[in-house]
Amino acid sequence: MEKFTHIDASTVEEAVSALGKYKGKAKVIAGGTDLLEVLKTEIHPEYPEAIVNIKTIPNMGYIKEEAGALKIGALTTLSEIAESSLVKGKYAALAQATDAVGSPLLRNMGTIGGNLCQENRCWYYRARKNYFNCLRKNPAGLCYALIGDNRYHSIFGALNGCIAVNPSDTAPALVALDASVVTSKRTIAIKDLFTVDGEKTTVLDDDEIVTEVQVPEPKAGTKQVFLKFRIRKTIDFAISSVATAITIEAGTVADARIVLGAVAPVPYRSTGAEDTIKGKAISESVADEAGTAAVKGAMPFTHNAYLVPITKALVKRAILA
């Protein structure tokens, strides 16, 4: 790795101040499971001048219920969330999603804040030494995946010209649970957190960090499921995933949130699938209709049409689970 200044922040304010000082040329490190790979492979046109370590900020790792909401500190590890009896009991989709991330070693290191803010996983974007200076790094560049190897890319079109998918497992679960993130500046609905804007995957400013995730308590009778398809059952990123939060009242669906992951540039809420099941009793035929509705309008590219039936099947299985 190249040389950089390493800053151990002792408070959120100190971390924000350090990030502001370097004006976009600093990176935040928590668990480091994503950033260390970025640094070692030198995927960006410019190397960061500073790394701001927020692991040294006390009291940013916790899981608690307060004022009718689950509150999780940004430095809480994925393992802690997956193993929490509180999360498994009331917020099952989140527990299942965190348990599906990587391997036990990665979950022991990785944090909820880092999983939400990780960088794009496209192999053209991640090529060593910035071999493909794609349009996410260079406005005059190309999206090489459009005409190249797009096996694991979006089936729901491009965003700002890019067809790379959002890689976070926890993101679709949190969108399904209508969560928000608290940052050093503001509170952002999780559905509005993600973007495809240059190298950024979130709307966070250069001097802004996530401090907490907040999840409202689900309504009584809400069943939650997270399912993930991947080539290998451990370690791999999702090829397709789905998170559901379906509220049943008097035997029929009163409300539903169905969110797809790993198949679009940002977590993709399928209102079509939701509308298909609302007011109906869950059955295999209804779930099948919802799966079809979830992939309606899909626009696969040369090498990823196989994602359409996989995603349809995942939605059906999640509804029937």
Whether 310 is covered by a domain: the verdict is yes
pLDDT of res. 64: 98
pLDDT of res. 117: 97
pLDDT digits (tens, 9 = 90+) for 277-297: 999 999 999 999 999 999 999
What CATH number did the domain enclosing 297 receive?
Answer: 3.30.390.50
Whether 306 is covered by a domain: the verdict is yes
Q: Exposed/middle/buried for 176, CB within 10 Å: 0-12, 13-18, 19+?
A: buried
CB atoms within 10 A of CB 181: 25
HEC profile for 77-102? EHHHHHHCHHHHHHCHHHHHHHHCCC
Residue with tokens 């969330």: 81
CB atoms within 10 A of CB 165: 29
Average pLDDT of the residues of the chain = 97
Distance CA(320)–CA(307), nearest Å, equals 20
Whether 257 is covered by a domain: the verdict is yes
Whether 190 is covered by a domain: the verdict is no
Q: What is the mean pLDDT of residues 316-320?
A: 98
DSSP line for 94-132: HHHHHHTSS-HHHHHH-BHHHHHHPPP--TTTT-GGG-S
Enclosing domain of residue 223: 219-321
Whether 145 is covered by a domain: the verdict is no
Q: For residue 195, what pLDDT band results from cuts at 50, 70 and 90?
A: very high
Structural domains in the chain (count):
1
Q: What is the mean pLDDT of residues 115-133?
A: 96
Q: For residue 233, what pLDDT band results from cuts at 50, 70 and 90?
A: confident
Whether 107 is covered by a domain: the verdict is no
What is this structure's pTM?
0.97
Q: What is the mean pLDDT of residues 165-169?
A: 97
Distance CA(258)–CA(305), nearest Å, equals 21
Share of the chain above pLDDT 70, in %: 100
pLDDT of res. 69: 97
Q: Which residues pair with 223 in a beta bridge?
A: 246
Those residues with Cβ within 8 angstroms of residue 194's Cβ, 6 or more apart along the chain or in another chain: 166, 171, 201, 202, 203, 265, 266, 267
Distance CA(294)–CA(263), nearest Å, equals 11
Whether 69 is covered by a domain: the verdict is no
Q: What is the mean pLDDT of residues 209-236?
A: 95
Torsion sign, CA atoms 34, 35, 41, 46: positive
Distance CA(206)–CA(16), nearest Å, equals 9
Q: Exposed/middle/buried for 234, CB within 10 Å: 0-12, 13-18, 19+?
A: exposed
Whether 248 is covered by a domain: the verdict is yes
Joined together, the tokens standing for residue 104 give 């036990």
pLDDT of res. 234: 78
